[in-house]
Amino acid sequence: MKVSKPNQENILLVGFPSNGLVGTFSISYLVHYLGMKQIGEIDHPDLPPTLFVEDGEILAPIRIYKKDNLFVIMSDLPFDPYRAYDFSESILQYCKNNDIKKIIIVSGMETINREPNTPKIYGLVTHQSLEEILYDNQISKFLSGSIFGTDAAIITVFRKSKVPALILYAECHPFFPDPEASILAITTLAKVLNVKVDTTDIKKRMERLRIQHRNLMEETIRALQQQQQDKTRVPQIYR
């Protein structure tokens, strides 16, 4: 991990399955690339009994990683509208307990008609103090639209808190894993964090990633559809 300008401010990255699995791909890639160590897990009594195995290691569905001043909370399970609130509150409590100064959420923005291999990325901030990040990194601001599901639950919680949140939305295909959008999210996030990241490996494994994550994409689509059907209980933000 190469940092050109030291920054000791504690930062939390958050990733979970969403459109195109952008959050899952990008955050998990950074965890492995930067050699972050798992330091904990988040449990919930309503989570389905699920474990993952990677290189012979048993992993819980929601894990916490850390390296230096960088923290990560990553979920490999999509959330229904009700668990999304609990997940959001858990993230906020973790921020309070660990003196987190800002969080960055990476997600996908449903865009079926974008130009092939040329996704765009947009940013949204809960506090004006993070507006400068968008300007400094030439990230277009998300100006209008609606947000629902886990994204909206987290934004709702943090816009009422003292911890500012930056949300990065990469244009992606809503029904298939989208590694191209994830690469854009990874490189943008690397600029924001001021770290050097090589995406050669993920470029080589694009087709394999699409195949490997088809089941997770199907589960994510079902969860997103449930969130859309339950909009009366899921907060929406209109800009």
Asked whether the beta carbons of 89 and 28 are under 8 A apart, the reply is no
In this structure, is residue 236 part of a structural domain? no
Give the model's confidence band at 11: pLDDT under 50 very low, under 70 low, under 90 confident, else very high. very high
The percentage of the chain sitting over the pLDDT mark of 70, rounded to a whole number, equals 74
Asked whether the beta carbons of 146 and 80 are under 8 A apart, the reply is no
142-151, 158-167, 198-207, 218-227, range with greatest mean pLDDT: 158-167
In this structure, is residue 115 part of a structural domain? yes
When pLDDT is averaged across residues 182-192 and rounded to a whole number, the result is 93
**Which CATH number is 99's domain given?**
3.40.50.10900
Count each helix (H run) and each strand (E run) in the chain, helices first. Answer: 8, 10
| Residue pLDDT, tens place only, 21-32 | 889 888 988 998
User: In 3-state terms, what secondary structure has residue 119?
Assistant: coil
Q: Which of 61, 65, 237, 50 is nearest to 151 (CA)?
A: 237
Asked whether the beta carbons of 94 and 34 are under 8 A apart, the reply is no
Report H helices in the chain: 22-33, 81-97, 131-136, 150-159, 179-193, 200-204, 206-212, 214-229
| Residue pLDDT, tens place only, 87-97 | 899 999 999 99
Q: Which of 133, 64, 150 is nearest to 100 (CA)?
A: 64
Is the four-CA dihedral 188, 148, 225, 78 of positive or negative sign? positive
In this structure, is residue 4 part of a structural domain? no
Tell whether pTM > 0.75: yes
CA 233 – CA 152 distance, rounded (Å): 11
Domain extent at residue 161: 11-229
In this structure, is residue 3 part of a structural domain? no
Q: What's the CA dihedral at 180, 181, 182, 188 to 10 degrees?
A: 110
Cα of 139 vs its chain's centroid, Å? 16
Give the model's confidence band at 48: pLDDT under 50 very low, under 70 low, under 90 confident, else very high. low
| pLDDT at residue 95, as a whole number | 96
In this structure, is residue 237 part of a structural domain? no
Counting the structural domains of the chain, the total is 1
In this structure, is residue 43 part of a structural domain? yes
Cβ atoms < 10 Å from Cβ of 1: 14
User: In 3-state terms, what secondary structure has residue 236?
Assistant: coil
Phi-psi region of 167 (alpha: psi -120 to 50; beta: other; left: phi over 0): beta
